[in-house]
Chain A
Amino acid sequence: MMKHPPEGIDQGRRALLGVAVGVTTAVVAPGLVLHAAALPSAAPPGAQRSGPVTDRVRWGLLIDTSKCAEGCRACVDACDRENGLDLQTRPAGQSGRAWADQKAVWIRKVKLADDLTGRVTNLPMMCQHCEHPPCVDVCPTGASFKRADGIVLVDRHTCIGCRYCMMACPYQARSFIHEVTHDQLTRVPRGKGCVESCNLCVSRRDQGAPSTACADACADAGHHAIVFGDLKDPRSAISQALTGLPNRQLREDLELNTGVRYAGV
């Protein structure tokens, strides 16, 4: 093991990243130079983040409901596996129906019928990563917070489990952990008595992975209904798709400026 050079590793990493960025920008395209200069800490794919997240990016999702298939649960299953939600066990003695409403759900499939035309729409719903999140406004301890890059998440270390955020969320996106947890994944610690919700695969973000589990799974299943990306980068896939496709926020009357957008509802 290394002998504690307190700054050594970080400095090493920073230097390494600098080289990486330099090499990439020099070799690839002039367009990227600007981009990289403007986004010093938007790490290139594959790099673990070394500096704090900045607000030069804002992560978001676009759901194209016309591509979302009925009966498909690929995104839900992928989310469960990614975040260890498939490891939840129903407490002995709890009825299945009660448990269904108590277990944590970060993403869910919803099937809608238009009241007039009867047209059926399928879509996944998760935390909408509001720019003005009501959950953050109401949280008494500040445990609910919005990261600089637009991801809304719960600091499980300061959450007291009052569930006020769940009352405030217009999308019923949050879950309360109702039972003692076991066998959590290292990348997703979770424990009884705190609130949690979709965090746009925050550990993937910090490790430099390109997308979210749900978006990857949807693409792998051949549907491509979920696009993930940086809303602030006009050249990102999601920004391009957003300009090409009529889309809207759910409950736009609340003016929360959500980071998740829907096309075709």
Chain B
Amino acid sequence: MARTLISAVLAALALVGALAAQVVLAGDAQGYVKAGSRAAAHGACVEPTQYMRRHHMDLIQHQRDATVYQGIRGTRHSLAGCIDCHVGPGSDGHPVAVNAEHQFCRSCHEFAAVKVNCFDCHDGVPKGGPLSESAQSALDAATQQGRGRGNADGSVRSAREGQGQ
């Protein structure tokens, strides 16, 4: 008897806790997006917000393996894309790393108490672009040459344009 009672109470508590966590999560997440970041200006993320909240790591990891092993570099699901969009300006107007205190990645991960390893290697602010300046100019020259040879419709996109999604 006592035992069933205790289990029932425990189950109820767990349920309440879970619901509360959901509510808090949903309420707080809005606050995690940094004012001034590109993400703040958009209504939605690359996938529905609810989906991203649960599965962003799977998307990032999938993109990661595609990039490392197959050389496929889309920014849609890439960590670089996340950083690009979610990095917010500090009081001095310079970008503040997404993994810095009170910033997008850090604050939510602290709340959820999940350790992030990404920033062991990746920097929390975009830097340098997908191509170096010299690479870009070499690329532009090559594309120019291509155009010069009759590819005038410009259908070959430069890499930088390719990043703008």
Chain A positions within 8 Å of B, measured between CB atoms, are 1-4, 6, 9-10, 13, 16, 19-20, 23-24, 27-28, 44-53, 78, 81-82, 84, 145, 147-149, 153, 155-157, 181-194, 201-211, 213, 216-217
Contact = CB atoms under 8 A, between A and B. Distances in A.
A82 B135 contact: yes
Contacts of A189: 121-123
B127 A183 contact: yes
Given A52-B70, A209-B159, A186 B127 contact: yes
B113 interface: no
B157 A48 contact: yes
Contact of A20 (B67, B70, B122, B155): B155
A10 B142 contact: no
B26 to A, nearest CB: 19
B46 interface: yes
A201 to B, nearest CB: 7
Given A184-B121, A206-B71, A216 B134 contact: yes
Nearest to A188: B128
A153 B139 CA distance: 23
Nearest to A207: B159
A184 B44 contact: no
A191 to B, nearest CB: 3
Contacts of B153: 23
B72 A209 contact: no
A44 B156 contact: yes
Complex A-B, nearest 9 residue pairs according to Cβ-Cβ distance, in ascending order = A191-B121, A52-B70, A207-B159, A46-B143, A185-B128, A1-B42, A45-B142, A27-B150, A48-B162
A194 B120 CA distance: 10
Interface in B123-165: 123, 126-132, 134-136, 138-139, 142-143, 145-146, 149-151, 153, 155-159, 162, 165
Most chain B CB inside 10 Å of its own CB: which residue of A194, A202, A203, A209: A209
Contacts of A13: 162
A10 B76 CA distance: 10
By DSSP majority rule, is chain A's interface helix, strand, loop, or mixed? Answer: loop
Nearest to B128: A185
A210 B67 CA distance: 19
Query: Which of B69, B76, B134 has the most chain A CB within a 10 Å cutoff?
Result: B134
A50 B72 contact: yes
Contacts of B68: 153, 155, 157
Nearest to A29: B149
Contact of B134 (A2, A20, A82): A82
Contact of A149 (B44, B71, B135, B159): B71
Contacts of A45: 139, 142-143, 145-146, 156
Contact of B83 (A81, A147, A186, A192): A186
Nearest to A217: B134
B142 A46 contact: yes
B46 A2 contact: yes
Given A1-B43, A187-B128, A187-B130, A207 B139 contact: yes
B138 to A, nearest CB: 6
Given A20-B155, A28-B149, A45-B142, 5 more contacts: A9-B74, A44-B156, A52-B72, A82-B134, A186-B83
A1 B85 CA distance: 10
Contacts of B58: none
B146 A24 contact: yes
17 contacts: A1-B44, A9-B76, A13-B162, A16-B157, A23-B153, A24-B156, A46-B139, A48-B157, A50-B72, A53-B71, A82-B135, A157-B68, A181-B121, A186-B128, A191-B120, A206-B67, A209-B138
